[in-house]
Amino acid sequence: MKLFPWQKKKSLFNEEDTRLIVKAIRHAEQRTSGEVRVFVESRCSWMDAMDRAAEIFFTLKMEKTEQRNAVLVYVALKDRQLAVFGDEGIHQKVGSAYWKKVVSEMLLSFDKDHYAKGIADCAIQIGEALTTHFPFDRGTDKNELPDEIVFGN
């Protein structure tokens, strides 16, 4: 039970960091039919980060994109866990080694306490891969998923 239910829960990012990440997501999606979403929560207790990312991916119905080319960037800030989960369309193109590389590069920013920058850079990097394999088609492409960050507990 919350002691003061009228108090707003403290955001995991300030406005500037949130804008940076959302701007990166939009930039990543400009030249591709692919979709990038970011889910941030404070803890990932009792579960592997990749399993949690998969659970969230399907809860958010990200597998419903037409070309199965959505990617979820999952971050549990306080537990310092993260994962990148790509749907089967993009995963078949880039493979597990690519996702591991993206995560390790994000960790380099996290090691310097640059969480928002690390997530934003990751989104842009994923956008490049999506652009290579799923280029934008002005006639058919639409934004299938929201660009805002999804915050968990």
Q: What is the mean pLDDT of residues 49-78?
A: 96
Q: In this model, does residue 8 exceed pLDDT 50?
A: no
CA distance 123 to 71: 9
**All structural domains of the chain:** 15-135+147-151 (3.10.310.50)
**Encoded tokens for 77:** 């800030």
Report the number of secondary-structure helices (H) and strands (E) in the chain.
4, 4
> pLDDT value at position 99?
95
pLDDT of residue 4: 47
Q: Is the pLDDT of residue 7 over 70?
A: no
Mean pLDDT of the chain: 91
Does residue 49 carry a pLDDT above 80?
A: yes
What is the pLDDT, as a whole number, of residue 79?
A: 86
Look at residue 40 in the predicted model and tell me its pLDDT: 95
- Classify residue 19 by its DSSP letter: H
Contacts from 60-63 at CB under 8 Å and sequence distance 24+?
Answer: 60/145, 60/150, 62/35, 62/37, 62/87, 62/145, 63/87
pLDDT band, very low/low/confident/very high, at 55 (cuts 50, 70, 90)? very high
pLDDT tier at 102 (50, 70, 90 boundaries)? very high
In percent, the amount of the chain with pLDDT more than 70 equals 93
Cα 16 from chain centroid? 18
More confident: 126 or 45: 126
pLDDT, residue 116, reads: 95
